[in-house]
Structure 1
Amino acid sequence: MSIPVVARYRAAPGRLPEVLELLAAVAPLNRAEDGCQRFDVFHDETDPDVIVILEQWATDDHIAAHHASRHFQDLVLGRLVPILDSREITRLKVVSE
Structure 2
Amino acid sequence: MSITMNLYYTGKDGNARKFAEEMEQSGTAALIRAEDGNEKYDYFFPMSDPETVLLIDSWKDQESIDVHHASPMMNTIAELREKYDLHMRAERYISDDESISDADKKFIKK
Task: Give the TM-score normalised by structure 2.
Answer: 0.74
Residue 53 (structure 2) aligned to one of 38, 51, 54: 51
- 1:44-83 correspondence runs (5 A): 44-74=46-76, 76-83=77-84
Of structures 1 and 2, the larger Rg is shown by: 2
- CA deviation map 1:12-34 (0-9, x unaligned): 33524531333213210110000
Secondary structure of the residue aligned to 2:94 is coil
| Alpha-carbon separation, structure 1, partners of 2:14 and 2:95 | 36
Task: Give the number of equivalent residue pairs.
Answer: 96
- 1:1-97 correspondence runs (5 A): 1-16=1-16, 18-24=18-24, 25=26, 26-74=28-76, 76-95=77-96, 96-97=99-100
Q: Quick check: 1:67–1:73 contact (8 Å CA) kept in 2?
A: no
How far does residue 53 in structure 1 lie from its aligned partner after superposition? 0.8
Higher share of residues assigned strand: 1
| Alpha-carbon separation, structure 2, partners of 1:46 and 1:10 | 13
How far does residue 38 in structure 1 lie from its aligned partner after superposition? 0.6
| Alpha-carbon separation, structure 1, partners of 2:14 and 2:45 | 15
Q: Quick check: 2:14–2:50 contact (8 Å CA) kept in 1?
A: no
Secondary structure of the residue aligned to 2:90 is strand
Matching residue's letter, 1:89: A
Unaligned runs of at least 5 residues, structure 1: none
Matching residue's letter, 1:6: N
Matching residue's letter, 2:92: R
Task: Give the TM-score normalised by structure 1.
Answer: 0.82
Give the % identical residues: 26
Q: Quick check: 1:3–1:93 contact (8 Å CA) kept in 2?
A: yes
Unaligned runs of at least 5 residues, structure 2: 101-110
